């Protein structure tokens, strides 16, 4: 077992050496076996199916707020990437922001800028700035290509590193499941968890910067995550959770606030 672990570690190290990209701002190297064009196409397909099968909110005020916050953060992201000569990384993005009628406390962003907010999270965001905390965080997941990274590890684990185009042709159902798992639709106890926790922390940092650039006070993130922690329910131990503990997340946000505030202009 020990030899197998060492062998797999060497394989991962080799893949990171030859198939890696760098996350903007943080500079972290990540495994990247999935071309952006392919994962964006898969994302748009899955997103279209989701929108088709779920009810869009008819609350005009809330819908307008979601689209406004989304557009502001989109502009911030595009500005940051342009300033750092990274605009090519946003090639193929087709931004879209929708509010779904659901009691679920959730929001997400698929590759290519497809964003969904659930009405169930609005009582916790409370206002536009609170919503910017959530949308900044979720958009950061897409910007950092966390989905592509998670899917790369999924393809490696489940299909032996099979190329996405081949996997879609030969193992369509397994590939779809890997995609859905990469975006948190399901849970896995095992080696994928550390990457998930790492992604959440990285998205918190990037999200603070993007919301600050969009004109929203990043300090509001502390209040939002405090409200989330007080929502109730039995919390999982941090080592068994795909998210940092409430205490860890809030402590990390406080640590990253000075950096984010440098981008904030009232």
Enumerate the active-site residues. Answer: 138
Q: What is the DSSP letter of 231?
A: S
| C-alpha to C-alpha distances, 88 to 154, 188, 215, nearest whole angstrom | 26, 33, 24
Residue 141 pairs in a beta bridge with none
Identify whether the C-beta of residue 147 lies closer than 8 Å to the C-beta of residue 164: no
Phi and psi at 14, nearest 5°, equal -65, -45
d(CA 243, CA 199): 9
Residue 116 pairs in a beta bridge with 98, 108
Give the residue from 141, 144, 115, 137 showing the smallest Cα distance to 50: 115
Residue 30 pairs in a beta bridge with 21
Give the residue from 194, 195, 76 showing the smallest Cα distance to 143: 76
Identify whether the C-beta of residue 113 lies closer than 8 Å to the C-beta of residue 95: yes
């Amino acid at each position: 077992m020990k030899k197998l672990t060492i062998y797999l570690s060497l394989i991962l190290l080799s893949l990171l050496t030859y198939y890696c990209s760098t996350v903007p701002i943080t500079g972290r190297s990540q495994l990247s076996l999935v071309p952006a064009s392919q994962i964006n196409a898969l994302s748009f397909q899955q997103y279209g199916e989701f929108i088709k099968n779920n009810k869009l909110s008819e609350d005009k005020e809330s819908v307008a707020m979601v689209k406004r916050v989304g557009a502001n953060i989109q502009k911030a992201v595009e500005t940051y990437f342009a300033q750092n000569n990274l605009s090519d990384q946003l090639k193929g993005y087709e931004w879209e922001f929708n509010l779904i009628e659901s009691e679920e406390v959730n929001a997400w962003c698929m590759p290519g800028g497809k964003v969904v907010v659930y009405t169930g999270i609005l009582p916790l965001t409370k206002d536009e700035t609170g919503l910017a905390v959530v949308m900044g965080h979720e958009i950061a997941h897409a910007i950092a290509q966390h989905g592509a990274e998670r899917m790369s590890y999924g393809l490696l684990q489940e299909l032996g590193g099979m190329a996405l185009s081949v996997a879609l042709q030969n193992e369509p159902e397994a590939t779809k499941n890997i995609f859905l798992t990469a975006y948190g639709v399901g849970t896995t106890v095992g080696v994928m968890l550390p990457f998930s926790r790492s992604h959440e922390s990285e998205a918190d940092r990037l999200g603070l910067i993007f919301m600050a650039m969009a004109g929203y006070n990043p300090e509001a993130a502390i209040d939002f995550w405090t409200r989330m922690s007080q929502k109730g329910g039995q919390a999982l131990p941090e080592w068994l959770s795909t998210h940092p503990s409430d205490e860890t997340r809030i402590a990390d946000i406080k640590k990253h606030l000075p950096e984010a505030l440098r981008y904030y202009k009232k």
